[in-house]
A and B are shown apart, each in its own frame.
Chain A
Amino acid sequence: AQTVTQSQPEMSVQEAETVTLSCTYDTSESDYYLFWYKQPPSRQMILVIRQEAYKQQNATENRFSVNFQKAAKSFSLKISDSQLGDAAMYFCAPNFGNEKLTFGTGTRLTIIP
């Protein structure tokens, strides 16, 4: 079975500091895509960042970057210079080559002013 684990139900960080959200998964596939999505309260799911499993280079998008460890099946998200607008539920969601996304249970991120 393909599973996704987000072991941190809640995280908090001081504004302007850095925080890392963890995600591990299990799959027997070798070619797949990994995504982080953000869902602010009562708002829609927004793509944060994407990573192709065949790429060794970690993806970055402005203040957001990932640490992808394929052998360890780990895909963590680092948010630098945290801002109040980063407060949201964050979901790790791989596509294991079967077209659909498999979501983790999410991490609720709180930004402390």
Chain B
Amino acid sequence: DTGVSQDPRHKITKRGQNVTFRCDPISEHNRLYWYRQTLGQGPEFLTYFQNEAQLEKSRLLSDRFSAERPKGSFSTLEIQRTEQGDSAMYLCASSAIRGSDQETQYFGPGTRLLVL
């Protein structure tokens, strides 16, 4: 098991451009989460999936944000028409829903986004 992976690790873009991030969860984990972390703050929940179903979206997730998990494996988070306020670290986590480790979320290394 290689843990949660995220790609890219860093992204610099110009305001108004679209960006897409990918997350590969731990292989046997059913749930996948996206969080956003700004400098000096704790992460804030954005959305989560159970298998391919998106079960909850935060009010933080504006219409410019969309997330998918088409086959219940990897997930993508797209930000359209980026704004400078979108600059943050985007964290992905995954968890199992059964077993001794249920509900424990394991995090990837994050994608750091800078919007110029």
Contact = CB atoms under 8 A, between A and B. Distances in A.
Answer whether A and B are interacting partners: yes
A45 B103 contact: no
Interface stretch (B19-27, B72-80, B106-114): B106-114
Contacts of B106: 47
A33 B103 contact: yes
Nearest to A100: B45
B45 A101 contact: yes
A98 B31 CA distance: 13
Contacts of A93: 42
Contact of A103 (B33, B42, B55, B109): B42
A104 B48 contact: no
Contact of B33 (A35, A100, A104): A100
Closest 3 pairs between A and B when the two form their complex, measured CB to CB: A103-B42, A45-B107, A100-B45
A50 B45 contact: no
A47 B104 contact: yes
A44 B33 contact: no
B87 to A, nearest CB: 16
Interface of A: 33, 35, 37, 43-47, 50, 91, 93, 95, 98-106
Given A35-B104, A50-B104, A99-B48, A104 B42 contact: yes
Contacts of B109: 43-44
Contact of B42 (A91, A95, A100): A91
B52 to A, nearest CB: 16
Contacts of A95: 103, 105
A44 B31 contact: no
Interface string B18-50: 000000000000010101000001111100100
B96 interface: no
A93 to B, nearest CB: 7
Given A47-B104, A100-B45, A101-B35, 14 more contacts: A35-B105, A44-B108, A47-B106, A91-B43, A99-B48, A99-B55, A99-B56, A99-B103, A101-B33, A101-B45, A102-B45, A103-B42, A104-B42, A105-B41
